[in-house]
Structure 1
Amino acid sequence: MIPVQGFEGQNVAVLGLGRSGLAAARALVAGDAVPVCWDDSPEARERAMAEGFAVRELTRAGAFDDIASLVVSPGIAHLYPAPNPVISAAWAAGVPVDNDIGMFFRSLALSDWDQYDVLPRVVAVTGSNGKSTTSALIHHILSESGRESQLAGNIGRGVLDIDPPGEAGVVVLELSSYQTDLARSLTPDVAVFTNLSPDHLDRHAGLGGYFAAKRRLFAEGGPDRAVIGVDEAEGQYMANQLSEGPGDDRVIRISSGQKLGGPGWDVFARKGFLSEWRKGRQVASVDLRGIKGLPGAHNHQNACAAFAVCRALGMGPKQIEAALHSFSGLPHRSQIVAEAGGVSYVNDSKATNVDSAVKALLAFDNIRWICGGLQKDGGLDGLAPGLGNVRKAYVIGREAAGFALGLGGTEAEICTTMQVAVAHAMAEAEPGDVVLLAPATASFDQYDNFEQRGNDFMARVREGLGLSQEVSTES
């Protein structure tokens, strides 16, 4: 646990008592502060009280009179589409509002760091797509190489729940826009921006607000090194803003699909090969084509980001390459479920928007595509580049008919349920086909989350193949 510093003997309010909220309350106690907790859910409040935490209705008059700060869980809106009433009350009382990420950065450095020859480092990864895989891949490479590493944030453990890092240890954080938008302290040693595509637009009042939330990771604290995906204009803009000139190697530009050049530091992937260039010369190359855990151009971009981070942390190319080959991927992200009769079954339930789904479609040929669910803003036009790889779509969800109409000339069958979609796709699949779940939508019309949707897909596949029904519940 990371004890929260700076609030000794003071009351600190905690809004939202899920994983991050309860971890924040425990870390406040460890730092000799007094958490005062609230959640709209009676069950959540009961869990907090069972741990001995004080509970207080934070919208009542005078609730913030003795409060030094408010810590807000990431799922709670603080500005758009409307501020939560508790946050408005904190503003009115002049109480600073923060989240667990901000508390983490202000509290990480401990007195025993004075004894270290090599200080711990923090790597923070954000972006629209690929940040989970990139974060896990960095953690995997470090761990495989024998270096102390912990994975936390939007993946793995809560940031305040990790162990204090030891000498030369690395903390790898995946950070969503919800987390970067509110944190009052953001000071990673290495920060990564993977890419940008429209998502969470209601929470950020549009694409500009969404990008601004991501950009805070780089603008607030100024990382020693910034790894920036430059395949979109926003990444090009940010790389330019952070750089003092063409040869400034504090910015490492990454790309999938285009060759980068110039006197700076670049890592890019083309036709399945990763290349590292510094000062106008190639210094390393990795063949990514045979790495099953990283299929497709989007995962090659993730590999470029992880490679760049580990190089910035002082690792050698061969050491990184060896670890890439042992990476098996993450559950629900281009996850190979089974291979039978010449047919591959791939679970990419995390493809919850059009941009991530089209990347999955471009990663495979001869696709029997299971898609559909609760559509997000923006329509389905962005799927067009990947539809040429689709032999047939099997559409699920309450909006299945409307989704099928949006696929143009692609053959589509309205299946509605996962059970029907998997059964029909398996029955029609031929050797060389890939049965792919990449929904391009949210899951909430039929499932609690994308993990549950992916687990249902895997269970149906294994049932159809007569395999064990043990399904991973990792997320």
Structure 2
Amino acid sequence: MIPVTGFVGETVAVLGLGRSGLSAARALRAGGAEVIAWDDGEAGRAAAEAEGFVLRDLSKQGALDAVTWLVTSPGIPHLYPAPHPAIANALRAGVPVDNDIGLFFRSLGQGTWSEMEQPPRVVAITGSNGKSTTSALLHHILTEAGRPAELAGNIGRGVLDLDPPEDGAVIVLELSSYQTELARSLTPDVAVFTNLSPDHLDRHYGMGGYFAAKRRLFAEGGPDRAVIGVDDLEGLFLAGQLAEGAADDRVIRISNTQKLGGPGWTVTARKGFLSEMRKGRQVASIDLRKIAGLPGAHNHQNACAAYAAARALGLGPRDIEKGLHNYPGLPHRSQVIAQRDGLTFVNDSKATNADAAAQALAAFPKVRWICGGLQKEGGLDVLRPHLGHVVKAYVIGREAAAFGLQLGDVPQDICGDMETAVVRASAEAQPGEVVLLAPAAASFDQYDSFERRGAHFTALVLGETPQAE
């Protein structure tokens, strides 16, 4: 645990008692704060009460009297589409609102850091797609190279549940827009921006608000180095804002669609080859084509981001290459589940928006595509250039027929549920084809998470008898 500093003897309120909320409450108490807590769900309140925390409904009038700080969980809206009543109370009372990420950065660096030869460093990774893979991949590279490393944030452990880092350690954080938009302290040593595509637009009141939430990671603390994907306009703009000139190597630009020229520091992946350029000269090259854990151009972009972050931390190209080659991949992200009778079954349940699904489709030439669910903002237009890879679509979800209509003349089967889709796709697929779950939609119409959806697909492919919900 990393105790939260700066609140000794003060009363701090915690709203939302899931993983991050309970972790924050414990860390605040360990740091000497008096903690009151609330969750709108009975299970969260019971969990907190079992650990001895005082409960108080923070949405009621006067509930924040004598409270000096309010810590909220990332999923609770604080501005759009409307603030939670407890947060609205805090805003009116002038009580600062923060989250566990802000507490982490304000509390890190205490204790014995001044005695360390090499103080620990923090790499924070954000973006719409690929941030989980990039985070896990960087953590894997560091571990394989013998560097002590911890993985936390939107993946792995809660940030305040981490062990205090040792001399020379690296903390790798995956941060969502929900986490970056509210944290009052954001001071990573290295910050990574993978890409941007429409997501969570109701929460951020449009693409501008969504980008602004991501941009805070780079603007608030000023990282020593920034790794920026420049294949999107927003990334190109962000890199331009951060760099003092074309040769400024505090910004490492990455791309998997174009050759990046100039005197700056760049890492690109084209036709399956990663290339690092610095001051106009090639520093290293790695063949990514046969790395099983990183299939497709979208994963080659993730490899560029992790490689650039590792280089910013001082690792050599050969050490990084070793980590890339033995990376096992993450569950639910282009995960090969089985190969039999000439067929390959791939679980990409994490493809919860159209951009992520488009990247998955682009990775395979002949696809039996299982898609559908709770559709997000932005529509499916971004998928159209890749629909030629689809032999047939098998549409699931409560609104499967409406989803299927958007696919136009793509051959399709309105299946409704996962079991029907897997049975029909498996029966009709031919050798050399891929049965791919890449829904281009959220899971919540039929599952409580993309993990449960992916696990259901996996169990069906492997011949198990799972529960769908």
Indicate the TM-score class for this superposition, using the shorter chain for normalisation.
over 0.9
Number of aligned pairs? 468
2:232 is aligned to 232
Offset from partner CA, 1:16-75 (integer Å, 9 cap, x none)? 000000000010111011111011112211110100011111122221121110000000
Question: SS of the counterpart of 2:285?
Answer: strand
Gap change, CA 1:230 and 1:176, over 3 Å in 2: same
Q: Tell me by how many angstroms 1:438 deviates.
A: 0.2
**Mapped partners of 1:441, 1:59: distance in 2:** 33
Question: SS of the counterpart of 1:350?
Answer: coil
**Mapped partners of 1:356, 1:378: distance in 2:** 12
2:332 is aligned to 332
User: Which residues of 2 match residues 76-475 of structure 1 at below 5 A?
Assistant: 76-463=76-463
Q: Which segment drifts farther, 66-75 or 376-385?
A: 376-385
Offset from partner CA, 1:188-215 (integer Å, 9 cap, x none)? 0000000000000000000000000000
**Mapped partners of 2:416, 2:40: distance in 1:** 34
Identity of aligned residues (%): 69
2:9 is aligned to 9
**Mapped partners of 1:328, 1:387: distance in 2:** 28
Task: Confirm or deny: 8 A CA contact 1:297 1:359 kept in the other structure.
Answer: yes
2:30 is aligned to 30
**Mapped partners of 1:327, 1:178: distance in 2:** 28
**Mapped partners of 2:61, 2:349: distance in 1:** 44
**Mapped partners of 1:62, 1:461: distance in 2:** 55
Question: SS of the counterpart of 1:298?
Answer: helix
Q: Which segment drifts farther, 75-84 or 37-46?
A: 37-46
**Mapped partners of 2:377, 2:233: distance in 1:** 21
Offset from partner CA, 1:424-468 (integer Å, 9 cap, x none)? 0100111101000000001111111111110110111111xxxx6
2:127 is matched by which residue type in structure 1? G
**Mapped partners of 1:275, 1:60: distance in 2:** 57
Q: Tell me by how many angstroms 1:470 deviates.
A: 9.4
Alpha-carbon RMSD across the aligned residues, in angstroms, is 1.2
**Mapped partners of 1:181, 1:323: distance in 2:** 32
Question: SS of the counterpart of 1:9?
Answer: coil
**Mapped partners of 1:88, 1:407: distance in 2:** 42
Question: SS of the counterpart of 1:460?
Answer: helix
Task: Confirm or deny: 8 A CA contact 2:149 2:172 kept in the other structure.
Answer: yes
Task: Confirm or deny: 8 A CA contact 1:462 1:469 kept in the other structure.
Answer: no
Task: Confirm or deny: 8 A CA contact 1:102 1:185 kept in the other structure.
Answer: yes
Gap change, CA 1:412 and 1:281, over 3 Å in 2: same
1:72 is aligned to 72
Offset from partner CA, 1:211-243 (integer Å, 9 cap, x none)? 000000000000000000000110000000000
Q: Tell me by how many angstroms 1:469 deviates.
A: 6.7
In structure 1, runs of 5+ residues without a counterpart are none
Question: SS of the counterpart of 1:186?
Answer: coil
**Mapped partners of 2:249, 2:166: distance in 1:** 28
Question: SS of the counterpart of 1:388?
Answer: helix
2:359 is matched by which residue type in structure 1? K
Task: Confirm or deny: 8 A CA contact 2:456 2:466 kept in the other structure.
Answer: no
Q: Tell me by how many angstroms 1:352 deviates.
A: 0.4
2:116 is matched by which residue type in structure 1? Y
**Mapped partners of 2:83, 2:176: distance in 1:** 19
Q: Tell me by how many angstroms 1:135 deviates.
A: 0.3
Task: Confirm or deny: 8 A CA contact 1:352 1:439 kept in the other structure.
Answer: yes
